Amino acid sequence: MSYIEGVAREQQVLLPEVLDEYVTAENPVRFIDAFVASLDLTALGFQRATAAATGRPDPGDLLRLYIYGYLYRLRSSRKLEQETHRNVELLWLLRKLTPDFKTIADFRRDNPQALKAVCREFTLLCKRLDLFAGELVAIDGSKFRAVNSRSRNFTRAGLERLLRGIEVRVAEYLSGLDTQDQAETSTPTPSAAALQQKIDALRVRQGEYAALLAQLEASGETQISLTDPESRSMKVRGGVDVCYNVQTAVDAKHKLIVAQDVTNAATDRDCLSPMANAANDVLGSAHLQVIADRGYYNGPEITACQDLGITPTVPRPITSANAKHGLFTKDDFTYQAAPDTYRCPAGETLTYRFSRTPASKGRAYRGGRRIGESSRPELLARCGLSSATPSRADPARHPQA
């Protein structure tokens, strides 16, 4: 038995004479070509959409190449340039045009808003083709790592810590200058010139950190990034990294993206109503339902969705540690609006008695009456209370808090 062998390279073959025969009717590049041909590139804001007398690269062809790279996860301009020379689909799509990587990179750099408008045009096309149900939308966020490294991202506390460290090191070097003459000649110590050079370098770095701190205070931001100014340090799986927060809203019918946005918010807490409203603007639904994970749970955001006529479904996070100890949590107490009381699991009523704002915590507490002496001791223990301990109602459970 021998191995399966391929066709000899010297074998003559009859290839199709027309490039179009290499691309099947179901190939996605045919849709890309037809979609771009239907767009008004001038109205969308693309640069050089009107050809000059000297000739320019057609933004339509570059847009076709950009969409193809997005579809097949080719982000590098150099890789896209390579594919235009050897990829049969791109040979067909671009009609054998081979733009260089600099032209491809400049196209993406010079047309950010126009590319965003193309995404919206595609979404509207999906709507016209009835690919959206417009009834249920799921919202979620993803952390996309920025080019900015962690060492070039600074917070106020981090800058203040660096400045304090420089002051300590400068003091040590100055002390070394003062005691250098008293050191034994046999002990190797840095020279005065070397110490002064180190002090000067620290002073320069100190000035840079002080300038960054002043810039941070003037901007009112909590972080500053030097490479990607809009990127922020965020919690990701496995630690902390400098990222962007990419928000997407997906329709339930064919799992197509309805709306998207890129923010530098470290969490998703304030993104629910903006994304729900953006999705509803596209879908035009009278009764849109939105679902999201517990990272989006935020009372004002949920209220904002309801004011827009959108029904949100977001699980409430469990933040109490009492459940781990076998105690009742605030979720086990039912608020009764009319009498302004709480009902405990044993049927006892907690009535309002006082309000106070501890200076240490800075938020108001509404105090209820003590659970009576007649209550069962085991119930008091599960509530984490004793007969002499007042009960406090969490303001988050009160509709007016």
pLDDT in tens, 344-401: 887 888 888 878 777 666 667 776 654 444 445 555 555 555 444 444 444 444 443 3
Go through the chain and tell me how many residues it has: 401
CA-derived radius of gyration, the chain:
32
Cα 278 to Cα 10, 270, 397, distances in angstroms? 59, 14, 29
Rounded Cα gap, residues 288 and 308, in angstroms: 10
Q: Residues 302-337: pLDDT tens digits?
A: 999 999 999 999 998 877 777 777 788 877 888 888
Per-residue pLDDT, 195: 79
Q: Residues 193-225: pLDDT tens digits?
A: 787 888 888 899 999 999 999 998 888 888 999
Rounded Cα gap, residues 179 and 266, in angstroms: 49
Q: Which two tokens stand for residue 100?
A: 């260089």
Q: Residues 92-117: pLDDT tens digits?
A: 999 999 999 999 999 999 999 999 99
Cα 272 to Cα 160, 257, 287, 304, 389, distances in angstroms? 34, 16, 16, 9, 39
Q: Residues 133-153: pLDDT tens digits?
A: 999 999 999 999 999 999 999
Cα 148 to Cα 47, 152, 154, 161, 268, distances in angstroms? 28, 6, 11, 21, 21
Beta strands across the sheet bearing 341-343: 334-336, 341-343, 349-356, 365-368, 392-393
Domain layout of the chain by residue ranges = 19-128, 151-225, 233-313, 323-397
Q: Residues 284-305: pLDDT tens digits?
A: 998 999 999 999 999 999 999 9
Q: Which two tokens stand for residue 10?
A: 């010297």
